[in-house]
Structure 1
């Protein structure tokens, strides 16, 4: 199988994937490289070192002098290639099996306001159409097509019910941009305000409900009693 060229100017791969191809095509398994050589290969790319380190999560073995005492402090050794990350099928399969760490999951939950990004339900909140079930949130990985056409596997908050009913298709940020471009000027300004605030505009009733939902259980009991009075 012919590999894509790591330095193809038409490539839409991200830096991690280009870095993997660079290791295979320029360094070779068993070969060494320095951070300076890596940065020279990817001029102007910020955090290229970090992108290379991300390959370890896909089974790539890259040693520093901590793991290999024969290396100088500035050297790294490309020991073994792992998952062929330039192949979207292999990359998605590997990423979907890689569980988020507790720290990663907490950060994603906080970013998503502790609500399912598909249906909007909060953790332990009952479903409107089935009050016997409550939302159980978890952080999952979803293949995502970015606006420039690149594909990345990104983390997102979903409830158990939405995850079970997922169609397995990629999230399409490129299609979202296309939909936004079709809005008239007034709706685009309104959407921009929602994006700036990080939430959709809401009515006073919705704001009161959301404020109530965030209260501790004992405080919610007091509110219910006040409403009954």
Structure 2
């Protein structure tokens, strides 16, 4: 399907749709852009940058210097396009649901210990594999298949990086239950104790590893030398 040109004067579309086309046709995935570029592309349109930010509700991923320390305060990085908002049918199908209230967000984040339920990172923490990126948590709706095959849309805490990498598939509690039933009874009882405490038990070996990883690099090298000797 050929995309309409973002600057086509005959295109009957709002700033959010034109902004999506501008990102795809002018900026390109993986590239950065600035507020000044937005103002130049959409002269005389108030809050054009805000309309472009609205694309996040449709799965478009854009990072600021809050999430990517390599960016300046003026820069944003267009990471990935989401729903084809210029297609009316696709836009209607992906219409954002009612916003999660601040009260709901706080309750869900508190329940999830202010950690991403996928990777376990806390808000404001740097990623181990990319120290330039800082985790930003959000509360999202995720379709979930419960044991017994009932389907619900539930609230869950995720960091922006995990959410942007998601394929949108439903969480399958029914499949997790079947996996657990394959464990022997002793393992099931141990797993249940972890669930009731809401944390996994650790072995002495795992505790030693975690203590080692918390040491400064030079101390870790000295410790390795002591063990080798």
TM-score, scaled to structure 1:
0.48
TM-score, scaled to structure 2:
0.48
